[in-house]
Chains A and B, each alone.
Chain A
Amino acid sequence: MSISNLTIQTTDTHLCLRSQGNWQANALQDVYQQLQEIKVDTVIRHISWDFSGVEEMDSPALVMIVQFLHRYDSSKVSFAITGLTVKYQRMLIFYRKNAVLNKPQSMTKVGFFAGIGCQFIQFLAGARQFMHFIGETCYQFLYVLLHPSQFRFAATVKHIESSGFRALPIIGLTAFLIGLVIAYQSAEQLSRFGANIFIVEMVSISVFRELAPLISAIVVAGRSASAYTAEIGTMKITEEIDAMRTMGFEPQRFLVLPRMFALIISMPLIVFFADMVGVFGGMVIARFDLGLSFSEFMARMQTEVPLKHLLIGLIKAPFFGFIIAAIGAFRGFQVTGSTDSIGHYTTISVVNAIFWVIASNALISVLLTELGI
């Protein structure tokens, strides 16, 4: 239907072009190719271009024509453009006026090593900002200690509910399954040695000391670090944070401290809950797979599992809570400008939070073992 056509004739100093058909976007590919192939020839002194066979033209066609004509701007070539209707003549002049001759270069390409260097510098800048953030939070914490009435109690309780209490179902389910799987896999091995009863230490110690704190922290990081980043990031974009600052509401005190306290308070409780449910998962397997009744399990746990394992797990919990809240809130404050930066920083915040929870868990684990606890 829409076909464009270009005839090219060259007679020594004269280039003669004749266009026909519908010069519209989707029919331009071949013509564009033809025009590209015409070499800018110094012999050419005169170009005539006849458009009388053209029915319709659109802006891609006009821009293409303008670009072609510009190739001859520097040389002494005379043009004769004929056969254009008044409307298209007007448009051609308009597009000629608006042609971009010296296209600005896009962003300069960064080399491989320069890229690594830039990344490292950015990392250092980020670390510095994080220090600043933690420092500011500590300052606000001390301020609140001295002026307890300034503490946002209601907000803290609200965050305990949304980040802690509402996380219980999913954490319970996860911990139950973890306890179940640990017991299930160990039961097989232990029964081969006739060491069925050791399932109690196996499940209790691993759940109390490592698994319950870690699993709870990972779930909370996924739920709350992302939520904190998105909430604070959105407030940053809508300038709510700036508004708060101008009204004398310190964002660190109003937004960060309540979230941080909420997680520091609720994490040990969550972990204790995960301990109970996780061990219960193990008890279910012990009962049905190894024939070890609930009461036997409990009795053995009381005599053989030292309390310190439970305590170590609970002591780690507030640190995890602090890490998650600090990273979630910090990344939220880094959000700038556009909406897709919220998605970007939310992703980073969850990945960071989970990584630092696992890393600090490893650190604490090594530390305590070296100390002989």
Chain B
Amino acid sequence: MTKQQQTIVQMTNIVTEFGANRIHDGVNFSIRRGEIFGLLGGSGAGKSTLLRQMIMLQKPNQGAISLLGKQLSHLNKTEQQAIRLQWGVLFQFGALFSSLNVLENVAVSLKEYSNIPSSLIEEIAHTKIKMVGLPAHAAYLYPSELSGGMKKRVGLARALAMDPKLLFLDEPTSGLDPNSARAFDHLIVELKHMLDLTIVMVTHDLDTIEYVLDRFIILHQKKVLIEGSMADVQRMQHSALSEFFKRAK
């Protein structure tokens, strides 16, 4: 297996039920190293649930998730903690800690999990804040003083704080105006190239799907309708598929 083809996430036969309501019925797909992978599908198709299962916030009723070579269901507390430090997560609305300012939000894991001197931590946090395209003075603002787009950027900076190899983004461009959304897309692609990231995102944004994603799955009727790139999709003829893209457009 070459480095490019290495599998980072493998989802096998995932079954998820909320009460009597089955939302995934045997979902299979895999995410390769270095790609930007999208989880697509209509509202309520269970995209965010899949994402939450990958980051161990939820457990599937059946099936196996292998992430960075580890079976998530077999991990003990210490191993869980170790794997949590290898990914970064950007939540839909940033989920910033409201009692900390931007700088502290970005620096919090470095402070907690490393013995780097605090003056250097501050430098690192300032650098990461600039990296995601925020103005320098934003460092001392509190989350309640930020716009939605800025919150997402801070969330991204916080997710990148520990140099993760794997980044999870939950609807990174939702709620942003078209310009900010495209700028955010560019940022994600640039960061991916610069920092050797593998990125998994849930998105509805057609431009993001077209220009950013390397590969994606579309969830339809509890299963994976298709796994592949935009080119693969265009080759395929499927009524549900054309409907998905038409409706989205």
Chain A interface residues (CB < 8 Å from chain B): 25-26, 28-29, 32, 58-60, 63-64, 66-67, 87, 90-91, 94-95, 98-100, 102-104, 106-107, 336-341
Contacts and interface: CB of A to CB of B under 8 A. Distances in A.
B127 A99 contact: yes
B142 interface: yes
A337 B144 contact: yes
Contacts of B145: 337
Q: How large is the interface on B (under 10, 10 to 19, 20 to 34, 35 or more residues)?
A: 20 to 34
B180 to A, nearest CB: 19
Interface of B: 98-99, 110, 114-117, 120-124, 126-131, 136-137, 139-140, 142-145, 160, 163, 194-196
Contact of A100 (B117, B123, B194): B123
Contacts, number: 80
A25 B116 contact: yes
24 contacts: A26-B114, A26-B115, A29-B116, A29-B117, A32-B117, A59-B160, A60-B110, A60-B114, A60-B120, A67-B120, A67-B123, A94-B195, A99-B130, A100-B127, A100-B129, A100-B136, A103-B126, A104-B136, A104-B140, A106-B140, A337-B144, A338-B99, A338-B142, A338-B144
A91 B140 contact: no
A91 B116 contact: no
A76 B59 CA distance: 59
Contacts of B99: 338, 340
**Main SS at interface, chain B:** helix
A59 B194 CA distance: 11
B196 A87 contact: yes
Given A29-B115, A104-B137, A338-B142, A60 B124 contact: yes
A60 B143 contact: no
Contacts of B195: 91, 94
A104 B194 contact: no
Closest 5 pairs (CB-CB, A-B): A337-B144, A338-B98, A100-B126, A338-B144, A25-B114
A66 B127 CA distance: 10
A59 B124 contact: yes
A32 B120 contact: yes
Contact of B143 (A26, A87, A338): A338
